[in-house]
Amino acid sequence: MADSPEVHIRAATAADAASVVDCVNAAYEQHIAAIGKKPAPMLADYPRLIGKGFVRVAVAGEAIIGVIVMWPEDDHLYVDNVAVLPAAQGTGLGKVLLADADAEARRLGRDEIRLYTNEKMSANLDYYPRRGYVETHRADAEGYRRVYFSRQVG
């Protein structure tokens, strides 16, 4: 998918808000049973995040098939959410979205990216280390058991 000319990453616009919500909900709904409630990304205020310029979308044709939410902190880039439509999972789109975060971190002069996942999302606990992320700690936050990761940007 990284070499696919029909998929491109761009900043989300206000007109994308409903499609962003749909993508996030589709990506995360499979985890509701394991967590016992909606995962935190399903509760975010996407129109506000889009308005702040924190949301980027992966687009195939006219359809949004992936979302990444990120913003700069003082000493790192924080990735709040990576969501890929179930039909596009396993195609390399997550890797493309994380590469976009790398590019954004470099653009902003940040040499570290931080993110977390829910402890119940076991596939992510394998996925992020394969992308070079290192688990830094685990903690309870906002009613969720979270696993925190960090990665140095090369």
Relative to beta strand 144-152, strand 134-141 is antiparallel
In the chain, the domains with their CATH numbers are: 7-110 (3.40.630.30)
pLDDT tens digits for 27-77?
A: 999 999 999 999 999 999 999 999 999 999 999 998 999 999 999 999 999
Q: Whole-angstrom Cα distance, residue 51 to residue 9?
A: 17
pTM summary value: 0.94
Q: Whole-angstrom Cα distance, residue 138 to residue 101?
A: 22
